[in-house]
Structure formats: C-alpha cells, structure tokens
Amino acid sequence: MVSTPLLNGVITPLITPFRGGEIDYLAFDHLVKWQVEQGIAGLLLHSLTGEGPTLSASERRALISRAVQLNRGRAVIIVQTGTYSTGTTIRQTEEAHELGADFALVVQPYYNRPTQKGIIHHFEQTARATRIPLILDNDPQHAGVAMKVETIETLLQITNIVGILKDTSDARTAPSPYQAIFGRPLHMTGGETSSPLMHRQRACCISPVANVIPDLIVRMQQLGQEGDATGFGVQLKRIIELAAALENGGDVAWLKYAVSCLRGIDNAVRLPLTPVDPEAARSIERSLRSLRVLRRQRFASSLVQEARVARAVLQPAISAEALISKSYSSIL
C-alpha cells in the first residue's frame, strides 16, 4: 500500500537557474529555501517551467537531492518523471522515490502519440514497477494526444495513482484571470471543498506565477478557501497585471526575468529557449512596479541578504550592496 502525503495548497513549478550554461546551484538552494519560507505547500521539479527536458540525468538527481535536503519535510516535493518511453519513465520515477521525493508527476507519452490502450498500459506498468504515489499529468497540448474521460477513470482506479493535473488548454476560450494566477488545477482522489470560490480558485494548484510572488499567491489561495470574497478581490487587483503579463508571454524566459528582477538570480535559459527581448523586459518591469512596496519589505529578509553576499563572493568585483541596488533599480 502506497502512503500518500497530504497535499493541499499552492505548488510552485520551480524554475531552474542557470549561469554560464550550468545550473546555478547556489541560486537554486536560495529559491528552495525562500519558497518554503513563504508558505508554499509544494515544489514541482523538472517540469517544463523548470526546463526539465534540457536537464541531464546527473543534474536531475542533484536537484532532487538538494531540494529534499533543504526542504526537510516542510513542503511536498513532486518530480516530473514522465517521458515517451515507459522504461525510462519507470527508471526516473523510481529514482525520484529513492532520492526522497513525495510524488511523481507523469504525463502521457509524447511524440509517439499512443492509443488510449497504450496510455493505460504505460501508466499501469509504471504504477506496478514503482512505489511512489503517482499524479497523472493530462497535457495534450504538449503531448499531442489527450487522455479520454474513460481512460482517466480507469487509471484512477489504480492504487498508487492518487490524483490528476487537469488539462486547461482550450483554443476556443481565452485564459481567465484565475488561470493566469493559479495555473492548472490539481485534483487529488477523495476530498472536496465546500467554498464556492474554490470552483474558480481550486484547493490545490500548480502556479508558475508563484515563482515570483509565492507569499501573495498563497495568501490569495487561503482567502479563497476561507470564502473571503472581499480579501480575495483585493489580492486579485494587486497581482493580476503581473499574472496577465507572464501568461501572455507564454515563455519560461518571461518568468525567469521577473524572478531575476526580484531575487537577483541570472535570467539565463537553455536553448532552444532564448532570453526576453528589451520590449518584453520593459513590460515585465512595468507589471512589477505596483509591487515595489511589498518587495522593499522582502529585501530586508536575512535570506535575501545571505544570497546577495554569497553571490558577491563568486563575483568579487561586484559588492553585495551593488547587487541589491541593481535588483531595486529594475523595478523602480
């Protein structure tokens, strides 16, 4: 019997910071600690937001190990392990379990576009061969094939498949403000919320914007669960401009640039992605200006100071104070 950790709240699909073409492990450690400090319920590693397809096997292992050690059980660690190969998916899923992850997120095989029967066998074999709770990732936009309702119902009968990350891609409708903020809804088997706001805001979600403002996304999610429509509306007005800008950008590079403005990390991405252009950078900076008072308070955090000092050690020519000033100037 698979033991399933509790999962309720906001999950951040964590970006992977790069510097000089390599993973910036110092920045990664800082982001993990900061996210947990801000009250995030979980961290998702190796997703598309985290540029998972560009990571080597050794990089994947290192990031899982570091996240688990730094987290110390305070937040749930989820690892995206799905591939177009059932054998590789099984190996990566079991490896995530051995390294201490709490869940594995497994997408339907992409590129080879299997039949519904093939999708069922893929997940059955993965579930049978591994010991970690699995979450289905129904992502036809990237996989090229959708899981039918009947397929999902069949898969959710498997003991250690414990939830599903739902598909929100619909070419007929524009993304709502709620989708821009809260991303894709994650439904765990068993348990419903009675709050009417949660029909829009969801009890559990994977929010890319939480990379930038985790505390505000967490607070908004809590207000939704409490049924506080007034407080929910106030928070929505605060962050909708930023969420909409990042949603419209539709690229991890936009998200990384926003994080770099507020946390001082490098905004580098790996090919085939490319950095934001000057016009996009200005758009992101404009959307961040409304948050500058809140961000000034955050810059007083000892965690942020610690990261700046560590960065200054690696770049002796630039003082920690200069780095802080540089981050301030990008949003003022």
Task: Give the per-residue pLDDT at 3.
Answer: 58
Average pLDDT, the chain: 81
Instruction: Please write the tens of the pLDDT for every residue from 71-118.
Output: 999 999 999 999 999 999 999 999 999 999 999 999 999 888 899 999
- Confidence (pLDDT) at 178: 61
Determine how many CB atoms are found less than 10 A away from the CB of residue 264: 21
Share of the chain above pLDDT 70, in %: 75
Contacts of 87 (CB under 8 A, 6+ apart): none
How many CA atoms within 13 Å lie on the side-chain side of 175? 20
CATH number of 9-80+168-329: 3.20.20.70
The residue behind tokens 């080879």 is: 112
For residue 64, is pLDDT > 70?
yes
CA distance linking residue 13 with residue 47, whole number of Å: 6
pLDDT digits (tens, 9 = 90+) for 35-62: 999 999 999 999 999 999 999 999 999 9
pTM above 0.75, yes or no: yes
